[in-house]
Chains A and B, each alone.
Chain A
Amino acid sequence: MGNGWKAILSARGLSRDFRVGDSTVHALRDANLDVNPGDFVAVVGPSGSGKSTLLYLLGLIDSPSRGEVLILGKPAQHFGRERRAQQRLTLLGFVFQTFNLLQVLTARQNIEIVLQLAGVPKKKRRARAEALLEAVGLGERMEHRPTDLSGGERQRVAIARALANEPAVLLADEPTGNLDSQTGHEVMSLLEQLNRAGQTIVMVTHNLAMARHARRLFVMRDGWLEEQSPEEMPAD
């Protein structure tokens, strides 16, 4: 675990319970984590182990049953809905398994909308969106709608969108889950490249091969989160 005082994003005793009928499911139990600037953290675990729950809690999309999330050292549990939305817009960038691009917009417009929400002027929006699409290798596909793009291309657009407001942390939920192996490794190479350029990344995946691209590895089992040193990393 890193040093709390310099962490961008921290989890302290984070738990999340869900009521299912008469019983309670403990999706996440007492998780502790510090994400430091420049980290590339991968959380690996099987489906239903609580990885996405952890990511949504860290991303202020969901609220914990117990414990707290700290953003730049400040506890986020007392933030209202709109303050949380503001934090997501300016400090956090999201990449989803199914890309979640707006189908009615082109690749460029999908990026511009995030900039517009942050109040970036129109001219700057366009230039920034084009630069980001160039950076992820989609300079020739800017005016295409998601339905005209391959899965890998869509995920690149989603990554570009997540980077639009220069977030402190990029949160990726199974970013290769809907991609074939080769395209998945290409997307991971892109994330690695971004991390080398200084972008902090937290990614959850069930795929250990993809997780190996990260610098720090956490394993999630039945809601328990545990960090593993590179030496302890399983061979497969």
Chain B
Amino acid sequence: MLTVVTGQLLAKKLRSLLTVVGFGVCVNLYIVVTTVMKFISEDLDLQVQRFTGRLMVQTRSEPGVTGIEWPPISSVIPSDTAYAILESPHVDRLNSSPVSFAALAPPPFPTAPPEALLVGLERGRENTFLANAPALMGANHFSGDGDRNQVILGVLSARYLAGKASATTQVDTPIGAITLAAVGSRVEIRGQEFTVAGIIEPETNQLLRSCVVMPLDAAREILGQTESVSAAIVTPKRASDIAPLQEEIERRHPSLMVVNDQQLARNAEGLLERTNQFFAVIRWTAIAVAALLITVVMFVAVLERTKELGTLRAIGAPASAIMGMILAEALAVALAGSALGVPLSRLVIAKALGPDAAGIRNRRVEAQSVALLTALGLLAAVLPAARAVRVDPIVALRYE
């Protein structure tokens, strides 16, 4: 019967091709949306994990439509206040720092931080933000040679700044080679030149891939923050200090709010929920279109082949063989569509997320998506197959 299935598909080449392409586009859409959902969710989790045990002191604001602003780019607190907070006996001063944030480039996609995010930190306090993230090249801390104008870049910001760098380097990623500002090169940021001290390993999170970490004094100078910083990153000495410290800061400074990892996690959850609702609509649309496509095409095929199906029944083909033949055709279309949709989705993801896609391990998503859509494609073919089984050989032979 497989010969018949192949023969039928080849006999209607254009229709088969269009159905395969249609199904492939649905598979592609499903994989892309699922992968992006998974990527955003995992990335926000990683951001929360890296922030565990720390507090972000920032300007008090009502959560907007996207929740608490993260990172708090628009927050402004007097630098005296920031330093006063860090002098508290509950604060681990070596792992705490005032911080200046600024967007140097727009975000690559909604929910992402800016593609290049300036982060000014006290020299020697880089890990209050980097949280010991390893370096891909160079160092994950500033060198002690007294050069004030140093930067540690993420992969995204290094790519973004490659055009303004005195030297570049090529890095191989699963999506192909990308050009980055080279370690040791000079890059121009807001009219000043900085030496690239290192590039952070890309498999961290979106915040670290986008960061442009520089000494706080340099950051405040290029941002014109003479009397202020954006926020303060505070590490309590002990876990038991977190709650009293949070309470103490908010009591003493009513205009400030203190965000801990749990609030950040809730914030991320709320953000994800809204994003996922939108993505779910796209996913269900892809599923519905794929199923409808198979149903309609197989129904048309069955109606066109009444004589053939009737003949097969007349010469003794059992119902199971007819059913199997129609389902096998649907399966062939679904598998061919998947064979097209999977590589297409890889291309789309690489284009949409750029170097971020390098960190995505989506084989499982691909396999699950293909399995789900193929199963639904088969389910959608059951109705036409049942219609094919019911073809009365007498009616089919009267076609003569």
Residues of A within 8 A of B (CB): 56, 59, 61-62, 81-82, 85-90, 92, 94, 96-98, 100, 102-105, 109, 112-114, 116-118, 161-162
CB distance from A79 to the nearest CB of B (A): 13
Cβ-defined contact, B319 with A81, below 8 A = yes
Cβ-defined contact, B11 with A86, below 8 A = no
Cβ-defined contact, B11 with A104, below 8 A = yes
Name A's interface SS: helix
Assess A94 versus B315: contact at CB under 8 Å? Given A56-B397, A100-B307, A113-B1: yes
Specify which chain B residues have a CB less than 8 angstroms from the CB of A86 in the assembled complex. Answer: 316, 318
Decide if B49 is an interface residue (CB 8 Å cutoff): no
Cβ-defined contact, B318 with A117, below 8 A = yes
Instruction: Mark out the residues of chain B between 41 and 62 whose CB falls within 8 Å of any chain A CB in the assembled complex.
Output: none
Partner of A85, one of B11, B307, B319: B319
Interface string of B279-318 (1 = CB under 8 A from A): 0000000000000000000000000000110011111111
Assess A94 versus B314: contact at CB under 8 Å? Given A104-B7, A104-B10: yes
Closest to A114 in B: B315
Partner of B318, one of A82, A96, A97, A112: A82
CB distance from A203 to the nearest CB of B (A): 16
Cβ-defined contact, A85 with B311, below 8 A = no
Assess A113 versus B3: contact at CB under 8 Å? Given A86-B318, A89-B317: yes
Closest to B8 in A: A104
18 CB < 8 A contacts A-B: A62-B394, A85-B313, A85-B317, A85-B318, A87-B316, A88-B315, A88-B316, A89-B316, A89-B317, A97-B400, A98-B400, A102-B308, A102-B312, A103-B11, A105-B3, A109-B7, A113-B1, A117-B321
Specify which chain A residues have a CB less than 8 angstroms from the CB of B72 in the assembled complex. Answer: none
Instruction: Mark out the residues of chain B between 316 and 343 whose CB falls within 8 Å of any chain A CB in the assembled complex.
Output: 316-319, 321
Cβ-defined contact, A117 with B317, below 8 A = yes
Cβ-defined contact, A102 with B7, below 8 A = yes
Cβ-defined contact, B315 with A161, below 8 A = yes
CB distance from B39 to the nearest CB of A (A): 45
Assess A105 versus B394: contact at CB under 8 Å? Given A89-B316, A94-B315: no
Instruction: Mark out the residues of chain B between 1 and 48 whose CB falls within 8 Å of any chain A CB in the assembled complex.
Output: 1, 3-4, 7-8, 10-11
Closest to A109 in B: B3
**How many of B's residues come within 8 Å of A, CB to CB?**
23
Of listed B7, B11, B307, B316, residue having the most chain A CB within 10 A: B316
Decide if B393 is an interface residue (CB 8 Å cutoff): yes
Closest to A56 in B: B394
Specify which chain B residues have a CB less than 8 angstroms from the CB of A118 in the assembled complex. Answer: 316
Specify which chain A residues have a CB less than 8 angstroms from the CB of B10 in the assembled complex. Answer: 104
CB distance from A178 to the nearest CB of B (A): 9
Partner of B4, one of A87, A89, A105: A105
Report the Cα distance A86→B311, complex, angstroms: 14
CB distance from B332 to the nearest CB of A (A): 14
Cβ-defined contact, B3 with A85, below 8 A = no
Cβ-defined contact, B319 with A61, below 8 A = no
Report the Cα distance A107→B307, complex, angstroms: 18
Assess A90 versus B400: contact at CB under 8 Å? Given A100-B307, A116-B1: no
Partner of B314, one of A87, A88, A98, A103: A88
Closest to A165 in B: B316
CB distance from B308 to the nearest CB of A (A): 6
Specify which chain A residues have a CB less than 8 angstroms from the CB of B316 in the assembled complex. Answer: 85-90, 92, 114, 117-118
Specify which chain B residues have a CB less than 8 angstroms from the CB of A104 in the assembled complex. Answer: 4, 7-8, 10-11
Closest to B307 in A: A100
Specify which chain A residues have a CB less than 8 angstroms from the CB of B307 in the assembled complex. Answer: 100
Report the Cα distance A85→B10, complex, angstroms: 28
CB distance from B320 to the nearest CB of A (A): 8
Of listed A56, A59, A113, A161, residue having the most chain B CB within 10 A: A113
Report the Cα distance A182→B79, complex, angstroms: 109
Closest 6 CB pairs of A and B: A89-B316, A104-B7, A88-B316, A100-B311, A98-B400, A104-B11
Closest to B5 in A: A104
Interface string of B380-400 (1 = CB under 8 A from A): 000000000000011001001
Report the Cα distance A164→B283, complex, angstroms: 50
Report the Cα distance A50→B288, complex, angstroms: 49
Closest to B2 in A: A116
CB distance from B48 to the nearest CB of A (A): 58
Specify which chain A residues have a CB less than 8 angstroms from the CB of B311 in the assembled complex. Answer: 96, 100, 102
Specify which chain A residues have a CB less than 8 angstroms from the CB of B394 in the assembled complex. Answer: 56, 61-62
Report the Cα distance A112→B315, complex, angstroms: 13
